[in-house]
Amino acid sequence: MMSRQAAIQRAVAEFDSGSFQQVLRQRIARPTESQNPARSAELLAYLTEDLQPALHAMGFACRLIEHPKAKAPFLFAERLESPDLPTVLGYGHGDVIRGLESEWREGLSPWTLTELEGRWYGRGIADNKGQHSVNLQAMACVLAERGCLGFNAKFIIEMGEETGSPGLQDVCAEYAELLKADLLVASDGPRLRADRPTIFLGSRGCINFDLSIESRSGAHHSGNWGGLISNPGIQLAHAIASLVTDHGEIKVPEWKPKSLPDSVRRVLADCEVDGGANGPQIEPEWGQPGLSPAERVFGWCSFEVLAFKTGNPDNPVNAIPPRAKATCQLRFVVGIDSSDILSALRRHLDSHGFGYVQITAARDEIFKATRIDPDDAWVTWAANSLQQTTQKKPAVLPNLGGSLPNDIFIDVLGLKTIWVPHSYPGCSQHAPNEHLPPELLKEALQVMTGLYWDLGAGNTPHHTAHNTPQAN
């Protein structure tokens, strides 16, 4: 007799047999670096040769959607079983950050799935090939056991997330009816800890910008001119110090939310931030005072200086440099007006005597901050599903500490968004030696198989809403 547990056991068997590992090996072998113009053919091939056959085998109809901003098409797939059933949209990206082949540990390659010392290594295994592959395999297990999904499923896969998802917003706006759904269920980012199943409900926004001072055309001898002409490195350091204290507290009022909602505080009270053996040690005095570590990274904003250059750092000379530049970043939460971030910065610098500091946005598009209410019925439903499968209480994060194009799904498509990550904080995504523990992937397959089974079991918030009599 078909059952939830039987579907989950199918997922375990797929993993234990090595068949899932083989799927990952094939997908990781394709060097889909979206930041490398020479890889454009690989971006398309990943969609048409790696993903489409797997989706067709599950009864999905597939089509490619072109957009002039994008370096590769978007893959749209759908399997529609009944208009009365809930419809779930899935998302993933097949592009990866540059491989950085020369920087990987000896014996490892970004394009070869390698098992070493209890870890599986390969570029994209955490971000994001491994994660959307888990979801596709889990859905296949439900389909094999039940004979149908019990819900309508759609997917959109892009190949440009690592370059800011160009064209994704336009495609979602133009094809909103095609992408219409009740819920987004997708996977990206890390769990709170490797051993704790996690749900997050949105993402922090992110904007990168440069601060620069151009004082003069060339450098001048520090002995002859020191004390007579301005030093842009010193000036820029003071300008930055006006934005943030020496312990990381933001000083620009418009860059801080007015408060933390009670529902956000409640779910974060159960979350302990721990990067594990490979992560840095948390510094309790850094950041916004009065907040827990979880509240600081998941409920508040953070300002970072990513790079600072003046003069010639590698070969300094006795000369006052003519210019200085800092690349900065603001991660922000819901409640911050993203359209006013740089304007607020301009006002702040001007009011503090730094009108000569130039501000340049790093790119036109930014990730906006999003989250759905932690008290939403879909959140409770998803958390219960994960707990039933793992017998562990899942962590519920109001948003990811990092950034995703989740604003497109919430603001453009009007969806509730449930993210179930299948990575962990120490996975080295975007760095050499990207990896995941296989036991995490195995549990993730079980978690998603259970979640997709529950979506088709007829006891979701969708069914409740549709079966509740409407008041006159």
Would the pLDDT of 235 be above 80?
yes
Q: Are 211 and 358 in contact (CB under 8 A)?
A: yes
Residue 129: exposed, middle, or buried by beta-carbon count in 10 A (0-12, 13-18, 19+)? Answer: buried
Beta-strand runs (E) in 60-187: 61-65, 74-79, 87-93, 114-116, 119-121, 152-158, 183-186
Task: Please state, in angstroms and rounded to a whole number, the distance separating the CA atoms of residues 386 and 392.
Answer: 8
- Asked whether the whole model's pTM tops 0.85, one would answer yes
pLDDT at 140: 98
CA nearest 119: which of 428, 431, 419?
Answer: 428
Across residues 255-268, what is the average pLDDT?
95
Secondary structure (H, E, C), 122-152: CCCCCCCHHHHHHHHHHHHHHHHHHCCCCCE
**The pLDDT of residue 470:** 39
C-alpha distances (whole Å) from 265 to each of 42, 292, 294, 408, 418 are 44, 10, 9, 25, 19
- Compute the average pLDDT of residues 264-271: 96
353-406 pLDDT, tens digit each:
999 999 999 876 788 999 999 999 999 999 999 999 999 999 999 999 988 899
* Structural domains of the chain, with CATH: 4-203+368-467 (3.40.630.10), 205-257+301-361 (3.30.70.360)
Looking at every residue in the chain, the average pLDDT score rounds to 95
Per-residue pLDDT reduced to its tens digit, 184-202? 999 999 999 999 999 999 9
Residue 442, C-beta contacts closer than 8 angstroms, at least 6 positions apart: 12, 15
